[in-house]
Amino acid sequence: MKFKVKYTTRSGDTLQRVVEASAPKEIEALFKAEGFFVLSVEKEGTGRRVKEIKIESLILFNQELLALLKAGIPLLQSLELLKDHGQDPNLRDSLQNVIQDIKEGSSFSEAIAHQGGYPPVYQSNVVAGEKSGSLPKVLDRWLRFQKFAQSSKRKILEALFYPSFLVIVLFLAIGVILNVVLPRFADFYSGGDIELPWMTQALLSLASFLQSTFSLQILLLLSLVALVRWLWVTPAGQTQGEKILLRIPKLGSLYRMYHSSVFCRTLGVLLSGGLPVVQSLEIVSQTCPSPKLQKRLTLITEEVRSGAPLHQSISSSDVVDPLASEMIRVGESSSALPEMLDHVADFFDQEIEKATVAVTNLIGPVLIVFMGVVVLGLLLAVYVPLFNASNVIR
């Protein structure tokens, strides 16, 4: 039987090979004897898709696992105690298989790699924890990192909720006025000899056009939804969306600072766990959500593998904020790179939080004033001819 094996070498390279064997356990034992770490084993041609485990479920599971390990309970016994806990069926099924693999002689890292669905950063931390004999410490560091990442994401979404709500209300109000209110006034004004201002005439013409092209509006709305989905989901769309975002003043620098923070904190967690720099960079590039940063990290990894200092490769490629590359240089020269990465990530997070609060506090009043001006202009365009007509009658 042929299996497709994805593994990492001693130098940190991620490779793929097709191997003939009777079972995945045989492959893992063979690669382990050669000094390689197996990331995944799949039957060739099956195209098996493994469901990713939700990060929230994984955080909750590791909190309980860490508490049991700190209490002195062995890993296998801790996993058996936790195998039926939680609401995520994917995690429960995976834990059942992980426990079975460990009973058959696999390590914890090999078992979760065999099952798949676990984030690469988490797998790498487990490997580092097992190699250094400090799995609880490494898991604790990973948990603190994930809690902060989830908290930051939640704060950003909460900050954007109110402005997004105002924009939706504004578009709905304008849509109702143009498609429902103005056509009725158009019928009213067409029956009299009222002289209409140019603004009113323009709005009535626009309302008549929109009413006659309602199906076109629906088509444009669906096209807009499809465009947003393309920018959000597909790799090509994400690349184009990122290029547009980076060109926007202030917002582009804020976006770059956010990814600089994620890069520094992820790399710091991996290095603190004991992984080599090259392997850590490969993992960061695989998990990076930014297409631009992901491509440049691949080049940086190759330069570092060739012997170039990390700070030199980062500064020349213009991947992250210049402050990050300077702090990385200081960390390399003082042999305290993980700690320095954590410090610069903390600084970026504080700057992002301050900028986000300032922008969202400003967006709300600006949108309200804009909504008021637009609605007032529409109402004046509709009712001014009535006032003029009443003056003529008098």
Query: Quick check: 46 pLDDT over 50?
Result: no
* pLDDT band for position 388 (cuts 50, 70, 90): low
How far is C-alpha 334 from the chain's CA centre? 32
Give every strand in the sheet of 14-20, ordered side by side.
Answer: 14-20, 2-8, 37-43
Identify the burial level of 266 via C-beta atoms within 10 angstroms of its C-beta, where 0-12 means exposed, 13-18 middle and 19 or more buried: buried
Distances (CA, A) of 236 to 217, 229, 286, 289, 291: 26, 11, 17, 13, 9
Under 8 Å between Cβ of 359 and 155: no
Identify the burial level of 369 via C-beta atoms within 10 angstroms of its C-beta, where 0-12 means exposed, 13-18 middle and 19 or more buried: exposed
Q: What is the rounded CA–CA span in Å between residue 362 and residue 48?
A: 49
Taking Cα atoms as reference points, which of 308, 313, 309, 312 lies closest to residue 297?
313
Query: What is the reported pLDDT for 364?
Result: 73
Mean pLDDT of 343-353: 82
Distances (CA, A) of 240 to 94, 120, 233, 320: 36, 26, 12, 19
**Residues 69-87 pLDDT 10s:** 988 898 889 988 888 776 7
Residue predicted with more confidence, 263 or 155: 263
Query: What is the reported pLDDT for 50?
Result: 62
DSSP 173-211: HHHHIIIIIHHHHHHHHHTS-PPPPHHHHHHHHHHHHHH
Under 8 Å between Cβ of 324 and 264: yes
Mean pLDDT of 25-31: 74
The yes/no answer on whether domain 141-394 falls in CATH 1.20.81.30 is yes
* pLDDT band for position 1 (cuts 50, 70, 90): low
A 10 A CB-CB count for 87 gives: 10
CATH number of 2-43: 3.10.20
Identify the burial level of 353 via C-beta atoms within 10 angstroms of its C-beta, where 0-12 means exposed, 13-18 middle and 19 or more buried: middle
Residue predicted with more confidence, 248 or 82: 82
What is the rounded radius of gyration, in angstroms, for the C-alpha atoms of the chain?
29
Min mean pLDDT across 42-46, 63-67, 130-134 is at: 42-46
How do the domains of the chain map onto residue ranges?
2-43, 55-118, 141-394
Mean pLDDT of 376-380: 78
Query: What is the reported pLDDT for 47?
Result: 47
The count of residues in the chain is: 394
Query: What is the reported pLDDT for 390?
Result: 59
Name the packing angle between helices 291-305 and 251-272 (round to 10°).
40
The Cα angle at residue 308 between residues 306 and 312, in degrees rounded to 5:
150
Residue predicted with more confidence, 93 or 18: 93
**Residues 252-270 pLDDT 10s:** 777 788 778 878 877 887 7
Residue predicted with more confidence, 188 or 101: 101
Nearby residues of 162 by Cβ (< 8 Å), 6 or more positions away: 360, 364
**The dihedral sign for the CA sequence 12, 16, 21, 25:** positive
Q: Encoding tokens for residue 106?
A: 């696999």
Min mean pLDDT across 40-54, 103-117, 235-249 is at: 40-54
Nearby residues of 248 by Cβ (< 8 Å), 6 or more positions away: none
**Residues 105-124 pLDDT 10s:** 888 888 887 787 888 778 87
**Residues 276-312 pLDDT 10s:** 888 788 877 777 777 777 788 888 888 888 888 888 8
Taking Cα atoms as reference points, which of 348, 312, 275, 346 lies closest to residue 121?
275
Query: Quick check: 59 pLDDT over 80?
Result: yes
